[in-house]
Amino acid sequence: MTPLVEAAPAKLNLALHVRGRAADGYHEIETIFAFTEGGDMLCGIAADGIGLEIEGPFGAALAGESNNLVLRAARLLAERAGIAAGAALTLAKNLPVASGLGGGSADAAATLRLLNRLWNLNWPKQELAKLGESLGADVPACVWSHTLFGMGRGDQFGTLMDGHLHQKPVLLVNPGVAVSTAAVFQGWDGVDRGPLQPELSLPALRAARNDLEASAIRAAPEIAMVLERLRVQPGAELVRMSGSGATCFALFESDAKRDTAAQAIAGERPDWWLMATRLK
């Protein structure tokens, strides 16, 4: 039986404005989600039960987890669909864990999309995204897996003006440290610095922010070093931290400039993780 394959693209926050803290403790945000051509990869075939094998360069970080987001997504979909179908799933974990790239959320979203096909459910993406809300705030956006303007906890979506960043070269860099999303949000200074313009253009993005950068840098000072190295690379058009960190990214004017920057940074810091890719 030929396995079904589903990509789990890395999620980037091209900008992230924190507008306030809600009564339930969650933060109200405005963000521009984007997704890259690179990321994790999931495959699956029909089986009697639901099982998961994890491989890839960061697979060991998830070893022994019996209730990770992939398994939770699979069990939730089977329960809500009212079926007893199973699947043997294999996840190639190519993205660092706890890195601000939405890896776990992207994996859960890929699970919902793959099993929707494998089990012939034919649910529209709207239903899968709604189901994903209970798995995590980023899961609905990752179900759609294309550029979106996010509001609320990041699970509500508004209109985004197109700025033609499709296939924009991007370099992702992580200094090899994991940061706690909860701790970084807790460290936010509580100052609302204003709304995010829902426009996908370089001028608008340059005027935007990631309001979690300061808190993340306090937790992991290496993030400031990554941002500094990216900012001095020729051809870098936008440099920012993604999500709650620690991964940072730079959009480049060409593949060649991106690749030259990747080579330079890898030579300086062979201990850092890099991915040269493009925006979807």
The stretch 189-211 carries a mean pLDDT of 96
User: 6 falls in which pLDDT band (50, 70, 90)?
Assistant: very high
What is the reported pLDDT for 223? 98
What is the reported pLDDT for 63? 76
Q: Is the pLDDT of residue 66 over 80?
A: no
Concerning whether 271 is annotated as a catalytic residue, the answer is no
What is the reported pLDDT for 227? 98
The pTM assigned to this predicted structure is 0.94
d(CA 139, CA 122): 19
Set out the domains of the chain in order of their start, with CATH numbers.
4-158 (3.30.230.10), 169-278 (3.30.70.890)
CA distances from 72 to 123, 133, 154, 204 (A): 18, 12, 20, 38
Structure tokens at 232: 């001095």
Q: Is the pLDDT of residue 98 over 90?
A: no
Q: What pLDDT digit, counting tens, does each position of 20-38 carry?
A: 998 888 899 999 999 999 9
What is the reported pLDDT for 65? 73
What is the reported pLDDT for 138? 93
- Give the type of residue at 123: W
User: 162 falls in which pLDDT band (50, 70, 90)?
Assistant: confident
Q: Is the pLDDT of residue 186 over 80?
A: yes
Concerning whether 11 is annotated as a catalytic residue, the answer is yes
User: 115 falls in which pLDDT band (50, 70, 90)?
Assistant: very high
Q: CB of 10 within 8 A of CB of 36?
A: yes
What is the reported pLDDT for 62? 82
Q: What pLDDT digit, counting tens, does each position of 214-248 carry?
A: 999 999 999 999 999 999 999 999 999 999 999 99
Which residue reads 């009212």 in tokens? 82
Which residue reads 């990554």 in tokens? 226
What is the reported pLDDT for 178? 87
CA distances from 156 to 11, 113, 184, 242 (A): 16, 19, 22, 19
d(CA 242, CA 18): 13
What is the reported pLDDT for 145? 96
Q: Is the pLDDT of residue 182 over 80?
A: yes
Of 43, 46, 139, 47, which is closest to residue 93 (Cα–Cα)? 43
d(CA 53, CA 60): 11
List 107, 138, 168, 211, catalytic entry = 138
List 11, 93, 257, 280, catalytic entry = 11
What is the reported pLDDT for 271? 97
Q: Is the pLDDT of residue 146 over 90?
A: yes
